[in-house]
Structure 1
Amino acid sequence: FSEGTLFFYLDEYVKDAPKDMMALLAATCEHLDRQLKRESTLVEKNIDALGQLLQLNPAERAILLYGTLARYQRELRGALVEFKVNTAQEAFAAIAAVAGVDEREVAEAL
């Protein structure tokens, strides 16, 4: 991560306090949510349109959005690599917590 970016400081924090990963993810989610509410992105509009057309549930839409962002945002990609889980259930639970959906829906969507 580039020094001076939000993700740089979050990465440094989680190295010192790995047990606070969920708190870190929640804070990151809140920050990004506030930032995105100020400006609607084309990718969000496209995923919403696709979601309506294909009748996707909120978990499926969230997976499309996070997957797209992870593909094109280097900072997010690095954070996802650092986030380690022991089981698929833990991964589903983490994604569901960030997306605000049920983890069973995430499991089905994946």
Structure 2
Amino acid sequence: MVSLRDFEVRRMRLADGSVHPAWTVPVATAKGVVVSTEPTDRRDDGGLAPSPVEQIMRRCGQTPVRLLADGTAMTVQDIAALRSVCHFQGLAHNLLHAYGQRCVAA
């Protein structure tokens, strides 16, 4: 137990190098409105990018056109999965364009 109030929180290393109880909270917005959020106690954000896309598809009935994420939030496998889900439209095209060299390197 690292917190007296939140028993599920984990200790994570923060940007300043300190270690404190914390959550990773990916947030997706559209036109200034939060459309997806999924707090996690994972220490790293690797592989978290597909989840908001799935939530947006379920809630809004369409795929996002753009995705801005940390370089570590999206793996090559995530890009391939999003590519198949998005059927080469919008997001998939932008992902392939932005991360194409990363895919080739992997």
TM-score using structure 1 length: 0.30
Task: Select the structure of larger CA radius of gyration.
Answer: 2
Relative contact order (alpha carbons < 8 A, sep ≥ 6): 1 or 2 greater? Answer: 1
Normalising by structure 2, we get a TM-score of: 0.31
More strand by percentage: 2
Higher share in helix: 1
